[in-house]
A and B are shown apart, each in its own frame.
Chain A
Amino acid sequence: MSRGVDEDLLFRALADPVRRQLLDRLRAAQGLTLAVLIDGLPMTRQGASKHLAMLEAANLVAVVRRGREKLHYLNPVPIQQIAARWIGAFEADRVAGLVEFKRRIEEDGQA
């Protein structure tokens, strides 16, 4: 499971308004069965199952089986990993920039 494959799945899973709506619902109330999750939404159980399978494959939804029930939870960890990849790099650049800045003003001070 390489990083590239994971990320393709993640971005594909997020690139759909219905799946984002399901994530929004799980953010508001977690541990929902499929029936409760899609209550009031214009979709079939079958359609919702497909969307949820894709979200689960991308690890955006965690599924806990309890007896015959499947409970669905929002898992924000992959989104944090995406943030860490770019925000972390950005911070590292900023630190490098500060180190360079300090070196320059110290040189100026000696000149």
Chain B
Amino acid sequence: MDKPDLVYIAFIATDVEKLWRLLTSEADSPFWFFGCRIEIGGAAGGPYRVLGPDGALAVDGEILAIEPPHRLRILWRMPGNPLGEGRQNEIQYRIEPATEGVVKLSVSEFHHLPVPDAWQEAGREGWSKILSALKTLCETGRPLPLAMGEQP
């Protein structure tokens, strides 16, 4: 197994299928992704795009692996490759049962290109908010009122 560079975890009182649906729903994505909308194909090799609230393309990625309802791995390619050319970085979502009625959601970053400290800082805040928003949405059905910070 390759070694992740960063890991974020949330424990959420929900079931695996419900969280998977939320994570892969184009319609629901703005409620947990800073108003961004995802576009996601159904199979490996398919697209994974993130569109900002203004419709601008923020991530022009690709599904590397999709195993519903447990694992989604994405090539996190940003238009213009701002981190450099070569193999782009990857994000992996994993959903596992934890205790009775609780699931563990983890997001791992795999860096093939170095990520500047300021980006890591923004990512730390961004992913923390995204996971918190997913938790609140799953557990209460209400979106978390997020301050619009930097996107990861």
Are these two chains actual partners, yes or no?
yes
Q: Are the C-beta atoms of A59 and B11 separated by less than 8 Å? A: yes
B8 at the interface (CB under 8 A from A): yes
The answer to whether residues A80 and B132 also contact, given A59-B11, A75-B8, A88-B145 and a CB cut-off of 8 A, is yes
Q: Are the C-beta atoms of B145 and A77 separated by less than 8 Å? A: no
Interface locus among B64-72, B79-87, B123-131: B123-131
Cα–Cα, bound, A73→B131 (Å): 16
Contact with B along A69-94 (1 / 0, CB 8 A): 00101011101110010011001100
B137 at the interface (CB under 8 A from A): no
Chain A: interface residue total (CB-CB under 8 A)? 21
Q: Are the C-beta atoms of B3 and A88 separated by less than 8 Å? A: no
- Name the residue on B nearest A65 (C-beta): B1
Cα–Cα, bound, A88→B144 (Å): 8
List B contacts of A84 (CB < 8 A). 129, 132, 136, 144
- Name the residue on B nearest A75 (C-beta): B9
From B3, B106, B125, contact of A66 by CB (8 A): B3
Q: Are the C-beta atoms of B124 and A71 separated by less than 8 Å? A: no
Q: Are the C-beta atoms of B7 and A73 separated by less than 8 Å? A: yes
B58 at the interface (CB under 8 A from A): no
Q: Are the C-beta atoms of B5 and A76 separated by less than 8 Å? A: no
Chain B: interface residue total (CB-CB under 8 A)? 28
Q: Are the C-beta atoms of B99 and A1 separated by less than 8 Å? A: yes
Q: Are the C-beta atoms of A77 and B7 separated by less than 8 Å? A: no
Considering the complex, which residues of chain B in the window 1-24 have a beta carbon less than 8 Å from any beta carbon of chain A?
Answer: 1, 3-11, 13
Cα–Cα, bound, A71→B5 (Å): 10
List A contacts of B43 (CB < 8 A). none
- Add 10 more A-B contacts to A73-B6, A76-B125, A80-B129 (CB < 8 A): A6-B11, A31-B5, A62-B8, A62-B106, A75-B8, A80-B125, A80-B132, A84-B129, A84-B132, A91-B145
Q: Which residues of B contact A (CB under 8 A)?
A: 1, 3-11, 13, 99, 101-102, 106, 108, 124-125, 127-129, 131-132, 135-136, 144-145, 147
